[in-house]
Amino acid sequence: MTDLILRGADIRSAPFNASLGDVLRVRAGAVIAVETGYRQEGGNRPVVIELGGGCLLPGFVDAHLHFSALVRRKRSLDCSSVRGATGLLAVVG
């Protein structure tokens, strides 16, 4: 049984050169099917979201992150554009 249906957009996945369909079915938070053409399941009343065209792409996740560098940056002063002692005093002040 489907919980959620997203329909009415060009659904693509990498390498993005061909459409997979225009209906995406979700159950318990996971994609269970990508189809062309909407058909209602008997007895089931999923939430249906009309996308109104466009393109539906998978989420892009950048798992490359340097947490320690982010913390240091928050606790540091950016002096990359400082010119001379007067500029340094202005940034520190």
Predicted confidence (pLDDT) per residue in 3-13, tens digit: 999 999 999 98
Dist. CA 72–CA 15, nearest whole Å: 37
Q: Is the peptide bond before 46 cis (omega within 30 degrees of 0)?
A: no
Q: How confident is the model at residue 34 (pLDDT cuts 50, 70, 90)?
A: very high
Average the pLDDT over 22-45 and give the result: 89
Dist. CA 58–CA 76, nearest whole Å: 36
In the chain, alpha helices (H) = 67-74, 84-92
Structural domains in the chain, CATH included, are 1-58 (2.30.40.10)
pLDDT of residue 1: 83
Q: Does the global pTM surpass 0.75?
A: no
Q: How confident is the model at residue 26 (pLDDT cuts 50, 70, 90)?
A: very high
